[in-house]
Structure 1
Amino acid sequence: MWKKTENLFYVHAILQLLAVLLVTTAAIMSVKNFSNSFNNSHQRIGLALYGIIWLQVLVGFLLPQRGSKGRSVWFFVHWAIGIAVALLGVLNIYTGLQAYHDKTSRSTWPWTIILTVQISSIVLFYLFQDKWVHIQNQGVTMGNEPTRITCQEVSVDDKKKELKVESC
C-alpha cells in the first residue's frame, strides 16, 4: 500500500510542476504578446490565479512530516488552495471566452458548450469516484450483474436459548 501511495504522490508532484511551468510560459507569452492593462475580468482573474498557483507551490514544498501537529492544517490549506485554483481556472476560461467574443464579435457558444460538457463530466466523475466503494459495499447492482434474492427469517426460541434460521 505504501508504494502505491508514494507513486501517486510523485505522479501528483510531477504533473503539478509541469502545470506550473505551462502556466508560467503562458503568462510570459501573454505579457509579451498582448496589452495587459488588467482592465477586464479575464486578465485580473488570470493574475490572481497565477499568484495563487505559486502560493500552492510554496505550500506544497512546506509539507510537514507525518504525525506532526501541523499536518492536518497543512492538508486542509493545500486542498483549499487547490480547489480555489481549479474553480478560478474554470471561471477564467469562461471570462476569456467572453473577452474574446467582446473583442472579435465572433460566436463562442460552441466552445462554451464543449467546456460546460467537459467540466460537468469531470465534476460527475469526481463526485462518483468517491462513492464507488460505498455503492459496491451496499450490494447495489449496476444492471449487468445477476440479482439473487435471499430471504431468511430469524427467530429466537427463549425456552431453548437458541437462534433458528428458516428460509422463507
Structure 2
Amino acid sequence: MRAIFVLCIMLAMAIPDRPASANVNARNPEITQLLLDKSSRTLYLLNGKRAVRQYRVDLGSNPSGHKQFQGDGRTPEGLYYITHRNPNSNFHLSLGISYPNARDREIARRLGRNPGGDIFIHGRGARISNPPPDWTRGCAAVTDTEMAEIFNLVRPGTPIFIKP
C-alpha cells in the first residue's frame, strides 16, 4: 500500500503544472508562439516547436521588406509580441502586435519619418467580402472564421516572429 502511495506522489510530481487559465487539451493545445512566414503567406500557431494550426494570410499592400515608416504598406519583420485582444475591431476581431519596437523607432527617426503603428492580425469584417491579395496597410489578415479561432487560442504576451 505504501509503495502505491509513493508511486502516485512521484507521478503527480512528474506532471508539469499548467496555468489554471490555459485552455489546454488535445484539440486546443496551449499556443506558446506564433510564426508568420511572409514569403509563404502563412501564419503558424505553435506549441513549443510544433505547429498546431496554420492559416493563409494576406499582408500589407507592399509585402516585401521590413516596415520602416507609416504608410509604406509593409508588414514588419522580426520578433514582436501580441499586445492585446480587440473584440471590437473594424475587421471582425484582432490581436495587436508590438510594432514599433525601439529599433523600429530609431530607424524611422534616422529617416525623419513616423514609424507608424496599429499593426494587427485581424479578420476581414463586414465591409471586406472578397479582398484582393495583400490588401492590408501592413497587418496580417485571415478570414473571420479563422480569426475567431486564433482570437480564442492566442493570449497577450505571446511572442510572434515575422519572417521575411
Task: Assess same fold via TM > 0.5.
Answer: no
With normalisation by structure 2, the TM-score equals 0.24
- RCO greater where, 1 or 2, for CA within 8 Å and sep 6 or more? 2
With normalisation by structure 1, the TM-score equals 0.23
Richer in strand (by share): 2
Richer in helix (by share): 1
